[in-house]
Structure formats: structure tokens, C-alpha cells
Structure 1
Amino acid sequence: MKPKTKVTLGVLTFVTAAAFTPIYDIFIKDKIDSVKVVVVKPGADIEKSERLTENMFLIERRDKKDLIDEVLYPDDLPSIIGYDASQLIVSNSIVSKKMIDFDNLVPDASEGEAIRPIMSEMIYAQPGSLRRKDRIDIYLVDEAFVKESNNTNVDGVREPEADASILKKPLLENVTVVYAKDSSNREVTNEVGEGTAKSSESERLNATGTISDLEVILNEEDFQKLMKEIIENKNKLYITYN
């Protein structure tokens, strides 16, 4: 190759590299090091339990090094609309699936909902495999039957006989369990894996403890109905899976 040609190629290479560098920095590097994600619109926080709507969010590019666990990408946005925020989500922040109450475990204050305790002394019988996020039906067992019943199971928990006159119709249906706790106020989970409604029955049998108390979501009307049966009518609660 002639010296003149080498010089010309060298100059062209230098000029091309010099021209490409700002193009790379401005247009290409940003796309390589960043990704589009769902963020909260600037200027407005999303409060805990607030219902999510599409106009609360934007799609923006953020540095990959700034991404958080279970980050929401643009295709994920429709899947969160209509659910509630499980925590405060601040303005201009990246949104994670962990911030969304997919399981309806956050009470809706506008409906009078709150987390209400069901203590062990209120309960006649319940499945030992109940876990957080389960849905339950609550039946009543009257005081006379409780006094007459001498049946016990292997755990020492009395169980009513399969009598249609006892379990006629649930007092409350489809109640969400927020926590299932043992007598030390610790959550009962599966020894292997998550203690959720998606767990297999075999996993549920290996519990970290024996369930004593429950915490459930009830509105004021249902809570008063429940307490009336327990306090005034002296009934006990028989709890089953929904």
C-alpha cells in the first residue's frame, strides 16, 4: 500500500472515530446502559392503599445499575391498573411489583375495612394448614353444642360432627386472612417455601408452628356481626377454606 494511501486511511479513521464518539455517548451508550421502566409521575406521591390508575405513571429510561428487585417494565403496566398500592410510592421513583397489593391484603378504608383479630378463644375449630393470603368461610357453632361436645382430634382441638344442623350457612364468606399466628404472635408459615395459598398441601403440613390467632380483613358491619355472635350469643367460630 502506498504511503499516501496509508496516510489517507489513517486520517479517515481518525475523523470517523472522532465523529462517532459523541454519537456513541449521546445515542448508543445510553441505550446500552439503560432500560425502559415504569416510574411514578413527578410531583405526586401514591399513598398506601390508593387505587392505581394509568395516569399515575410514565415510561422512562433508567440506568440498569439503579434498577430494583421485581422492577416493572412497560409491558407490565396494564397488569397493575386497578390494584392498590401496598406502600407509599414516592414521586419519580421506579415501581416494583413488591409495591403492589396483588393479594388485596391492604384494607380499603373507604369501605370501612380494617385488619381485625380473631383470637383463639373465639375459635371452635380451624384447619391447621391455614396461611396468610387464604380465603376463609366462618360458620357458627352454638354454645349448647360446644358444651355437649367431647370430641377431640389428635391436636386436642374439638371438631363438630358433620351435622347439617350445626354448619347450616356461613356467617361470613370469602374473608381474607392477613396473618395466621402462633401463641407467641409469630406468623405460621411452611417450613419449606412460602406460606401462601399457592403452596401445595404437602408443604402446608410442615408448619413452623401451631395456629392460635388469625388476623383478617373485615368491614365494620361484618365485624360487628361477628362480635355480636361471639359476645351476645356466646357462639364459637368454625373456620374452613373458602
Structure 2
Amino acid sequence: MKPRTKIILGIFTSLLLLALIPTYDIFLKDKIDSTAVVVVKADTEIKTNQTIEPEMLSIERRRKQDLVDDVVLADEINDITGKEAAELLVSNSMVSKKMIDYEQMLPNPDEKEAIRPIVSDMIYAKPGSLRRKDNIDIYTISGDVTDKRMAETSEDTEDNEVSSEDVKKAEKEALKTPLLTNVRVVYVKDSANNEVTGEDGKVVAKGERLNATGNISDLEVILNEEDFNKLMKAVIEDNQKLYITYN
């Protein structure tokens, strides 16, 4: 190669590098070192339990080293719209999946919701495979039906005045109209106040819950004040028991 050609190539390479440096800094560096994520729009605040609307969010590129844990990526924005915020989301902040109430497991104080207990003494019957995150319907069973069931199973019963058919008929009549529907279960606990889960600790389909870490004793559910008062009236004032089914 002629010396003149080497000089020209050297000059061309130098000029090319000089041109690439600002191009990298201006156009490429941010894309390589950053990721498009979901952020709360400027001058917008999303309160706890507030439904997240599309107009509350925007897409921005943030440096990878500044990303929060489980940040919501740009292509995941539709997964969080329509869900409720699990905590306060402030203006210009990145949105993390940990900040979203995907499972609707938080009570909404604006609707006077709270986590309410249903203890074993209140329960007449319940599915043995019930787990947290399930939705349930709650029926009421009168004291007469409860007495018939106890008489049917009592070893001291010597007559045939009470039969299985009597109990089934009474239960069927009681289960025509639920007291409460679509109630969200937050915890399912055993007599030692430990959560009942599958043996592997995972929440699985209803039909695959034959193995559990314990026997169900108490429940904790999300109810507003009106529904909780209705439930307590049935149990305390009307002396009824609760018959719990899947929703």
C-alpha cells in the first residue's frame, strides 16, 4: 500500500471516529444504557387503593443502574392499568410490580372495607381445599339444621327421628339464597393460627389441593362495614351458622 493511501485511510478513520463519538453519546448511549419503563406522570399522584388509569402513566427511558426492583417495563403497561395501587405512587416515580395490588388483597378504606375474621365457632361447613385469594359465597344455616346435624352424628341417638335425608333437605332449603357473595379470602388459618397452604406452599387449582399443611379453622376475609354487620347479626342475634362455598 502506498504511503499516500495509508495517510488517507488514517485520516478517514480518524474523522469517522470523531463523527461516531458524538453520535454514540447523543443517539446510542442512552438506548444501550437505559430501559423503557412505566413511570407516574408528572404532577400526578396515585393513592393507595386507587384504580390505575392509562392517563396517569407514561413511558420513559431510565438508566439501568437506577431501575427499581421488579420495575414495570414499557410493554407491560397494559398489565397494570385497571388494577389498584398497593401503596402511594408519587409523581415521576418508576412503577414496580410490588406496588400493584394484582390479587385485590387489600381492603379499600374508602368503601369502609377491612380484613374481618370468621372463626371456627361461626362456621357450619366449608370446603377443605379453601385457600387464600379464593372468592367465596356465604350462606346461613339456622340453629334447627345445626341441631339436626349434631343429632344425626351423635353416638347417643337411639331413635330414628333424625335421618340424613332430613338434614340434606334442611340444608338444601337454607342454601337457596346467599347472605354474601364474592367475598375475598385473605388468609386461611389452622387452629395454631398458621396459614393453611398446599404442602409445597404454593396456591394451586381447587381440584389439586388434596394435600395441605393443616386443617382449616379460621378465615380472614375482606368485608365492608355493612356486610360485616349483616354477617354478625346472623351469627349473634339470629343464632345462625355460616355455610361457605366457592364463588
Residue number among 166, 180, 187 corresponding to 1:179 in the alignment: 187
Matching of residues 9-24 of structure 1 within 5 Å:
9-24=9-24
Counterpart residue identity of residue 181, structure 1? K
Matching of residues 105-124 of structure 1 within 5 Å:
105-124=105-124
Does the CA-based 8 Å contact 1:132-1:178 persist in structure 2? Answer: yes
Does the CA-based 8 Å contact 2:47-2:89 persist in structure 1? Answer: yes
After the TM superposition, which of the residue ranges 67-76 and 165-174 deviates more from structure 2? 67-76
Task: In structure 2, list runs of 5 or more residues that go unmatched.
Answer: 154-163
CA positional deviation for 1:135: 0.7
CA positional deviation for 1:175: 0.8
Residue 95 of structure 2 is aligned to residue 95 of structure 1: yes
TM-score for the superposition, normalised by structure 2: 0.85
CA positional deviation for 1:106: 1.9
Q: Cα 1:230–1:240, aligned 2, differ >3 Å: closer, same or farther?
A: same
SS at match of 1:149: helix
In 1, Cα distance between the equivalents of 2:8 and 2:189? 79
Counterpart residue number, 2:135: 135
Task: In structure 1, list runs of 5 or more residues that go unmatched.
Answer: 153-158
TM-score for the superposition, normalised by structure 1: 0.86
Give the CA RMSD over aligned residues: 2.3
Does the CA-based 8 Å contact 1:192-1:203 persist in structure 2? Answer: no
SS at match of 1:215: strand
Counterpart residue number, 1:162: 168
In 2, Cα distance between the equivalents of 1:194 and 1:45? 34
Alignment length (residue pairs): 233
CA positional deviation for 1:48: 1.4
Counterpart residue number, 2:228: 223
Residue 231 of structure 2 is aligned to residue 213 of structure 1: no
Q: Is the radius of gyration larger for structure 1 or structure 2?
A: 2
In 1, Cα distance between the equivalents of 2:5 and 2:173? 103
In 1, Cα distance between the equivalents of 2:183 and 2:205? 21
Q: Taking every aligned residue pair, what percent have the same amino acid on both sides?
A: 56
Counterpart residue identity of residue 221, structure 2? V
SS at match of 1:39: strand
SS at match of 1:162: helix
After the TM superposition, which of the residue ranges 17-26 and 118-127 deviates more from structure 2? 17-26
CA positional deviation for 1:73: 2.5
In 1, Cα distance between the equivalents of 2:60 and 2:213? 43
